[in-house]
Amino acid sequence: MNITRTARMNNQEIRKWLTTSRLALTASIREKYSGQIRQHFMTWFRQFTLEHPQSSCRIAGFWPIKEEPDLIPLLTELDRQGHELSLPCITKQDSPLEFYRWTATTPLQPGQFNIPEPQLSEKSLPADIILVPTLGFTRHGHRIGYGKGYYDRTLADLHEKGHVFIKIGVAWDEGEITVPYTPEPHDIPLDYILTPSGLHAPLK
């Protein structure tokens, strides 16, 4: 169920609406949709690697929480193919995330907010592709998360340091925001939005 109410909603109300829509998805539907998301990414990634030939690619993923799309089978396959995978870690509150190496055999431990993080792992180099957990999105590539600002700070920090990377928001189609929404001044638009219906380039 996309947000289509006509009344102006603040960001807190939008998050509440998005969360309700996400919770309405059954486990079997989420599993089906997650498979579609993984398939769409691999279709795009195969073309990406043809256009950017290199021995391996650095990809930052995330461990699913709060009924998020499950990318673990995708990350496992990318690891098998020899690409460098990483997962985000919260090392300091109100600071950018740090990414640590992950493989299919890396042990995990609960981090901040009880999110699994790589244990006894080395810090990863900046990723070529960052898969960003996305609660809601607009067709112009603006993203709304859980309100803690970790990814906003992280993406801004990487840009300020001159890193070049592709930002792909991962969401359910039900997360599309169609009511008036004004992004925060610090928000950085996504390069693509990955949903069960496909990989979408934002409208210009």
The pLDDT tens digits of the residues spanning 12-69 come to 899 999 999 999 999 999 999 999 999 999 999 999 999 988 777 999 999 999 899 9
Q: Is residue 148 marked as binding?
A: yes
Identify the pLDDT of residue 166: 97
Q: Is 147 annotated as a binding residue?
A: yes
Q: Is 33 annotated as contributing to ligand binding?
A: no
Q: Can you name the CATH fold of 11-200?
A: Rossmann fold (3.40.50)
The per-residue pLDDT for 105 is 94
Bridge partners, residue 59, by sequence: 85, 129
- Residue 169, annotated ligand binder? no
Q: Where are the domains of the chain?
A: 11-200
On whether 100 is known to bind a ligand per the annotation, the reply is no
| Burial label, 98 (beta-carbon count in 10 A; 0-12, 13-18, 19+) | middle
Tokens of 78: 């990318």
Name the CA dihedral angle for 77, 81, 84, 85, rounded to a multiple of 10 degrees.
Answer: 0
From CA 204, how far away is CA 178, in angstroms rounded? 16
Does 8 carry a binding-site annotation?
A: no
pLDDT < 50 positions in the chain: 1, 3, 6
Does the pTM exceed 0.85?
A: yes
Query: Would you say 143 is a known binding-site residue?
Result: yes
